[in-house]
Chain A
Amino acid sequence: MNKVSLIIKKELYRVFGDRKLIFSLYVLPVIITIAIYSLMGSMIGKMTKDITEHTSIVTVVNATGDFKWAIDQSGFADGAEITYIDSDDYATRKNDIEEEIKNGNIDLVVNLPENFDEDAKAYMAGEGGMPSMDVYYNADENYSSRANSVFNSTALSVYKNSLLSERYGDVDLLEAVNINTVSLSKDSTGNATFMKMLLPYMVIMILFAGVMSVGVDAIAGEKERGTLASMLISPVKRREIAAGKMISMAILSGISAVVTTGAMVLSFTLLGSNSGLDGMGFSAVNFSAAQIIELLLIMLSLVLFYVSVISLIAVYSGNTKTANSVISPIYMVIILMGMMTMFRTGSTTPSYLYAIPVYGNALAISDITSNELGLMNFIISFVATIGLGAIITVLVTKAFNNEKLMFNA
């Protein structure tokens, strides 16, 4: 049997023959992913529901008969507990009421001035200026913000329209332009803005974490424990050992990436339909077969690149502690590169940026989600990542032949 495949088999058996390792590598990340997103989703959902169901505490000062009618007619009164007070009452308690708004005890205060009725009637008759009223709310409070927006779209809207139609007859005459708003995006993008921001970041981070968790131990750990030496005195070429180690690392971390991404997609799908995440684009992403293949190829090139980088660090480190301390800052750079794609503006990104490993891959993944990835940019990203990975792999193989690195001699 080929010695590379013998080594790969042993490395895989090492993980899959150990329930504890399977649990920590594959089961735990899935549980955590699903738990985090489920919790996030249900909390957002609960919060949204709570805000919607909350009975707004509203105080209306000096309400006219017409205004009260509008409040009842618009349905605003159904979701609100309204207290009507007069101007004198308001004048004496003004400071207290403002304090109550700040504290979140009152959600909304509508203050109609004393002469409001006359002003409104004059306006309806086509005389005089517009009547005015003051609306107080607290933008920091969810309940208050919602009360304000609902008040605007219901009671106030009904009242305004009744004033206008009284004055001008047909309200539509007041519209300068009839606007039909339709959001247009390329095929399958839908409402995927959030996904477009999140997916590249998630993919490049999860893949790195996967390689990191298996790679450091497979090389630096074995060096530290003295188990690598037993391979080095066996009749097997050093490059075969390096290849066996690196391929098994790629397989193990590839599985972990697929499992974790699967768990993420699963939790988004479960949450998408019944939570506040629905509108954020999770349920709007539908990948075509070609897009999935592109995504998988990018992930493959990234895994190979990561495996080479981590192997190089591990082989140059005397022990796992040193390896991990070198990898930590690199992990932060990787996260930063993923985040950089989140804030991309403008319509075109120069092609040479796609040649930067990790960043270029993140750009390509981001483009896939919006169906904007051109073949040229895809090839640039793929070839550059694989190419650099191959160069680093050669360095790793050379390091396996270096007695100083292998035995701290």
Chain B
Amino acid sequence: MIEINGITKIYKLSAKKKKELKTNKDVKIAVNDLSLIAEPGQITGLLGPNGAGKTTTLRCVSTLLTPNKGYVKVCGHDTVKEAEKVRDSICFLTNEIKLDEHFTVDYLFTFFGRIKNLDDATIEKRKKELFDAFEMNNFKDKKIEELSTGMKQKASIVVNLVNDPEVVIFDEPTSGLDIVTAKAVLDYLKKLRSEGKTVIVSTHIMSEAEKLCDKVAMIIGGRKVIEGTIPEILAETKTDDLEDAFFKLYMENTGADKEESHE
């Protein structure tokens, strides 16, 4: 289970960043007082446009960032005070975290298995399971640099799942994948759900969220604007699909932001 409790993450902006973002402010509030619970046996989705704070939230969950306010607990462990215990039970998948191109899939699988405190017999067992599930057997002795983009992504997923983690955190799971690989990944996420794992994903593809998620939270401008199952959200926003719901909420909330800045 993941318990996100009122986290706020503030970045100090460098002169260069200020220029990029075209702002005079010294800080950017990436996540603003966000709370959310992701239950085991469910896929929870974070929905929002680029820059909404989805990735920052997931990085806080996966111990990479320390929130300025609030806390996150993963399987009952605090992500700041007990970071190593949290890292033992999670798998964080994102496009930005890559595998070293010089090694083979097989070598990295074994290496990360050992780093994640597994014995060699368990590593071999997991290797067989995952390589079969993701059809990696023909590629296991290839160096990462020899693989196609889609295969690299698959290799990264396989290697990160070595320790059969209780919690799977996935930032943009299908980004950059071809349709076949994307389906394989989504199917595996559903399999993990059926095994009782806690899965949290971020996405800006509403149709993907509709098909995949048991529960979604929409984030706009660092704030959570709505949370619930998809029927609950549609009922609350009086819309027919998630995309309409999102745009309705987006207009309401970005409009509110503008009023605030006029004050």
Contact = CB atoms under 8 A, between A and B. Distances in A.
Interface of A: 1, 3, 6, 10, 13-14, 17-18, 222, 225-227, 229-237, 403, 406-407, 409
Contacts of A403: 64-66
Interface in B94-114: 96-103, 107, 111-112, 114
Given A222-B100, A233-B90, A409 B11 contact: yes
Contacts of B11: 409
A409 to B, nearest CB: 6
A267 B103 CA distance: 36
Contacts of A3: 115
Contacts of B63: 233
A3 B111 CA distance: 10
Contacts of A18: 102
The 9 closest A-B pairs by CB, nearest first: A235-B88, A226-B98, A235-B87, A229-B97, A227-B100, A233-B92, A234-B115, A230-B97, A14-B102
B126 to A, nearest CB: 15
Contact of B64 (A10, A13, A14, A233): A233
B162 to A, nearest CB: 10
A17 B102 contact: yes
Given A1-B114, A6-B115, A403-B65, A233 B98 contact: no
**A13, A14, A232 interface centre (most CB from chain B within 10 Å):** A232
Interface of B: 11, 59, 62-66, 84-85, 87-88, 90, 92, 96-103, 107, 111-112, 114-117, 156, 159-160
B99 A227 contact: yes
A227 B98 contact: yes
Nearest to A3: B115
Given A232-B64, A235-B84, A407-B65, A225 B101 contact: yes
A330 B163 CA distance: 43
B64 A229 contact: yes
Given A222-B100, A226-B97, A227-B99, A233 B116 contact: no
B98 A234 contact: no
Contact of A409 (B65, B99, B116): B65
Nearest to B107: A13
Nearest to A403: B65
13 contacts: A3-B115, A6-B115, A14-B100, A226-B98, A227-B97, A232-B64, A233-B62, A234-B115, A234-B116, A235-B116, A236-B87, A406-B64, A409-B65
Given A227-B98, A229-B96, 16 more contacts: A6-B115, A14-B103, A226-B96, A226-B98, A227-B97, A229-B64, A230-B97, A230-B99, A233-B92, A233-B97, A235-B87, A235-B115, A236-B87, A403-B64, A406-B64, A409-B65
A230 B90 contact: no
Contacts of B115: 3, 6, 231, 234-236
A161 B68 CA distance: 97
A1 B117 CA distance: 9
Contact of B98 (A13, A230, A235): A230
A234 B96 contact: no
B194 to A, nearest CB: 25
A237 B84 contact: yes
A403 B80 CA distance: 12
B111 A407 contact: no
A327 B111 CA distance: 32
A232 B66 CA distance: 14
Contacts of B62: 233
Contacts of A231: 115
Nearest to A232: B64
Nearest to B62: A233
Contacts of A406: 64
A348 B196 CA distance: 76
A69 to B, nearest CB: 79
A79 B115 CA distance: 77
A353 B26 CA distance: 46
Nearest to A221: B100
B9 to A, nearest CB: 9
A46 B185 CA distance: 70
Nearest to B169: A233
B116 A407 contact: no
A18 B145 CA distance: 13
Contacts of A409: 11, 59, 65
A234 B88 CA distance: 7
Contacts of A222: 100
Contacts of A237: 84
B66 to A, nearest CB: 6
A1 to B, nearest CB: 6
Contacts of B102: 14, 17-18
Nearest to B114: A6
A222 B159 CA distance: 18
Contacts of B65: 403, 407, 409
**A229, A231, A235 interface centre (most CB from chain B within 10 Å):** A235
A236 B88 CA distance: 9
